[in-house]
Structure 1
Amino acid sequence: MRFHLPAGRGPQAVGVTAPTRAGLLAEIEARLRAGAGFSVATINLDHLVKLQVSEPFRRAYAAQDLICADGNPVVWLSWLAARPVELVPGSELVLPLAGMAARLGLPIGLLGADQRTLDAAAARLEAEFPGLRVVARIAPPYGLDPEGPVAAECLRELSASGARLCLLALGAPKQEVLAVRGKQLAPGVGFVSVGAGVEFVAGVQARAPAWVRRLALEWLWRMAREPRRLSRRYLSCFAILPALARDACRLRGEEQA
């Protein structure tokens, strides 16, 4: 499933390259076993809005090794295009990836959020997955520039820690840009952008109840809790849906032709 972007200097399309949860996890494990560095991004409507206007974000997405669907609208659009993908939220990758790292005997790092959150998340993960070692807990300063010198120092610290897998909790577009830079400054590390997933594990941020998620209303639950921060974001997301649906219908027509 690919999404076309307005004309610009960066890539003109971005797509889901890991259509299933099982396939994504299998590919991550294969790369970890091989000692190969990689980066994983999770695309949603908010990212598609940002991709419309940000050339650096486009370049970062173009350099991702694996991209999965992190939002029900992306999944629905894939159905409309007759190219179905599964819902794989980045926040739901934290626990299975921690379990995978424990099983493989590979240390992990956490980068983003604040120190209290990272310490709480690390304590829970190490308790839940015996043998897991969280060897890096890097809380960068507020306003981190993912292309600046402080970010470079964070990546060098991560590399020196011996972590083989890094969960990035910086939010878009910082985490995706940093992941691509990390492949250069911390080769051999797998970077996975998980957004608020680390905060959910730490218990400092609550996720929508399961029944709300089953009804695909998590966005409404979040907006009710943070209307000032999220209202404009969701309006922007709704605004691009008609064009995305039109493109999906065109893709379906090409599939049936």
Structure 2
Amino acid sequence: MGMPIHAVTLDEAVDRVFDSLAEGRGGTVLTPNIDILRQYRRSPELRRMFERSELVVTDGMPLVVALRIQRTPVPGQITGTDMLRALAAGAGARGRSIMLAGGRPGEAERAADRLRQVSPGLRAETYPCFVRPETMAAELAALSRRLVAAAPDIVFIGLPFASQTAVMSALRPALPGTWFVGVGSSFDFVNGDRSRPPELVRRLCLEWAWRLTSQPWLWRRYLVHGVPTTARLAVDALRLRWRRDGSPTTSAGRPALP
């Protein structure tokens, strides 16, 4: 399906961010899963966003499995929550600042408190918001003013994916030395409001079923949209494995999902 992925470990991803910050350069981190892959296939604008992104890691385990099937493996799954915790710990150790933007009222503040407990001395600010399409311009303007005033090194965007990418595209020009990391609902995991499934469930690519037990209203996302996308991904990965001996990569050495 053409989505570029960086074949990095979590530690390597974290090092890339802080090495870039040391050189005065910012960037974006995208953490795609099956639902994001479905959106990627349908949106030329989103495909351009992925091509421009400095770091794309595999949040969804089906993507990890597909890359293994087509013989362009990545080291493993890296979720938005993994990136949030690891980068916050790294920021605390290096004297860098972070901002948690998004989430329901109180969510970002609680997550920041949890992260400070793990990394004493961490400089963490918060900006609770929910960027809605009908109020996008005003909310982006307010968020931009807050970010420019705070000038954080890393911004974690706890918003739905479409809003994440809108924020990144709109605000990066004003903060070229800042990293923007899309983390979706990761504040919930940091706060303990939701938990990850057991490792076996993740390895079997059944995290969607685990999530449906606590969030049944997501049935359309997983059953109507997710299952066909996953099936097509598996078929395409098998077809690519049979047809090619080499690894389909971009010029930057990134495995590409079929």
Q: What band does the TM-score fall into relative to the shorter chain?
A: 0.7 to 0.9
The 10-residue stretch of structure 1 (58-67 or 124-133) with the greater mean CA deviation from structure 2? 58-67
CA distance 1:141–1:20, shift in 2 (3 Å) = closer
Q: Is the 8 A contact 1:115 1:138 kept in 2?
A: no
Task: Determine the C-alpha separation between the residues in 1 that align with 2:113 and 2:153.
Answer: 18
State the secondary structure of the residue aligned to 1:87.
coil
Question: Partner residue of 2:254?
Answer: none
Is 2:157 aligned against 1:168? yes
| Code of the aligned partner of 1:163 | P
Moved more, 237-246 or 123-132: 237-246
Q: Which structure ranks higher in relative contact order (CA pairs < 8 Å, sequence separation ≥ 6)?
A: 2
TM-score (norm 2): 0.86
Tell me which amino acid in the other structure corresponds to 1:117.
E
Structure 1 segments of 4+ aligned residues over 4 angstroms from their partners: 144-147
Distance in 2, Cα, partners of 1:192 & 1:104: 18
8 Å contact 1:19–1:84 — kept in the other structure?
no
TM-score (norm 1): 0.86
Residue number in structure 2 paired with 1:133: 123
1:118 paired to 2:105: no
Conserved? CA contact 2:103–2:130, under 8 Å: no
The Cα shift of 1:30 comes to: 0.8
Identity level (%): 31
Matching residue of 2:216: 227
What is the CA–CA distance in structure 2 between the aligned matches of 1:197 and 1:43, rounded to whole Å?
13
SS in 2 for 1:109: strand
Query: Would the aligned equivalents of 1:57 and 1:177 in 2 still touch at CA under 8 Å?
Result: no
Deviation, structure 1 residue 117: 0.7
Residue 118 of structure 1 contacts residue 202 of structure 1 at CA under 8 Å; is this kept in 2? no
Unaligned runs of 5+ in 1: 5-12
Which structure 2 residues correspond to residues 165-204 of structure 1 after superposition, within 5 A? 165-204=154-193
Aligned partners of 2:77 and 2:231: how far apart in 1?
21
Distance 2:52 2:170 in 1: 10
Provide the C-alpha distance between the structure 2 equivalents of 1:96 and 1:57, rounded to a whole number of angstroms: 26
1:151 aligns with 2:140: yes
Counterparts in 2 of 1:141 and 1:67: CA distance versus 1, 3 Å? closer
CA deviations 1:89-108 (Å, max 9, x no partner) are: 11222111111001110111
The superposition leaves residues 102-146 of structure 1 with CA deviations (integer Å, 9 ceiling, x where unpaired) of 1110111011102311111111111210110113x1112462569
- Structure 2 alignment gaps of length 5 or more: 248-258
Q: 1:250 to 1:210 in 2, by over 3 A?
A: closer
Task: Please give the root-mean-square deviation of Cα atoms over the aligned residues, in Å.
Answer: 2.2
Out of 215-224 and 118-127, give the one that drifted further.
Answer: 215-224
Distance 1:141 1:77, change over 3 A: closer
Residue pair 1:63, 1:180 contacting (<8 A) in 2 also: no
Q: Which moved more, 1:71-80 or 1:205-214?
A: 205-214
